[in-house]
Chain A
Amino acid sequence: MQKVAAAAGGQYPTRYPAVAVRFAPGDRVRVRDSAPLGHIRTPFYIRGHVGVIERYCGAFPNPEELAQMRDGLPAQPLYRVRFLQRDVWADYPGPREDTIDIEIFQHWLERT
């Protein structure tokens, strides 16, 4: 636990030992397209899609671990990621500026 870097800052900084922050606002990221069992806070409809980091929210205990009665540490950085609706739904009928913003934990994101 001593080895993990404390993630400083974020909109709501927490005092948990945390995994180092990898992404900054504006970075393009892809949501992992994976379907593990368990309590997952990454909705199915967004897996595999590419979006842009809107903000870093802080680091929070991993809910997938909390659901297994573990402490969820080191905490995972949490981001709000913005996706264009037209990228998410091929047949989206609205203007191309329409977006969907979703909170996604860092371990679900990879750089594109």
Chain B
Amino acid sequence: MTERGDIGNYQPLTYFQLMEVSLRELLVEKGVVSEQAVNDAVEDMRRRGPETGARVVAKAWVDADFKRLLLDNGTRACEAMGIDVPALKLVVVENTPQVHNVIVCTLCSCYPRMLLGIPPDWYKSRNYRSRVVREPRSVLAEFGLRVADDVAIRVHDSTADMRYLVLPMRPAGTEGWDEARLASVVTRDCMIGVAVPRSPRSTKP
């Protein structure tokens, strides 16, 4: 029994839902996994959210040695922070005044879940996946992000074993902030690359 779609929803199961239920029930019936283990795995994934990625970014903003390690080997850097990132092979790409990075998985929906949690629906949509590789500037503009023509856009298509995280630029007006406060301006979308952290001065209406 799962929570999914059980509130007043009497639609027949789709092909893939039926396959998932059948496979899961078979695995339980044959003693390969228990219902408890399945629920624990789902809960573990639900607990993960972009706050973890934001902590990593904030640390890179204040600690140059950590930032060097993060760009060289993202997995080792996360482990050094005590973050549990099983099986994650993390490539961190840095935004600079000359380069803006944005992440997509055109083939499916590869995403650094260990650091950002479950991806948003738009990240998995055919619209985003097919368009951001072909017309990244218009897609970013639809997110409200206009990238100047003298800034190169680097799209990263996550097609195989690596997972990607954007290291955004630290916004002006955050001088002297501690890591926890810095992390509060780092949103999920900033780490996918469809937004940039707002400077505290620019959040005024």
Identify the A interface with B (CB < 8 A): 11-12, 41-43, 45-46, 57-58, 60, 63, 78, 80, 85, 89, 92-95, 97-105
Contact = CB atoms under 8 A, between A and B. Distances in A.
Given A80-B91, A99-B154, 16 more contacts: A11-B73, A12-B73, A12-B75, A12-B162, A42-B159, A46-B157, A57-B160, A58-B161, A78-B160, A85-B136, A94-B137, A95-B150, A98-B136, A100-B154, A100-B156, A101-B154
A101 B153 CA distance: 11
Nearest to A43: B106
A99 B160 contact: no
Interface residues of B, number: 25
B109 interface: no
**Secondary structure class of chain B's binding surface, majority of residues:** loop
A42 to B, nearest CB: 7
Given A11-B91, A41-B107, A89-B134, A98 B160 contact: no
B89 interface: yes
A55 to B, nearest CB: 8
B161 A103 contact: yes
Given A11-B73, A43-B106, A94-B137, A100 B91 contact: no
Contacts of A46: 157
Contacts, number: 82
Given A11-B73, A12-B75, A103 B133 contact: no
A68 B192 CA distance: 32
Interface of B: 72-73, 75, 89, 91, 106-107, 133-137, 149-150, 152-162
Nearest to A101: B156
Contacts of B73: 11-12
Nearest to B156: A101
Contacts of B158: 103
Given A12-B89, A41-B107, A89-B134, A100 B160 contact: no
B152 A101 contact: no
A78 B157 contact: no
A103 B160 contact: yes
B154 A43 contact: no
A78 B161 CA distance: 8
B154 A98 contact: yes
A11 B136 CA distance: 27
A78 to B, nearest CB: 6
B161 A60 contact: yes
Contacts of A105: 160
Contacts of A42: 159
Contacts of B152: 95, 97-99
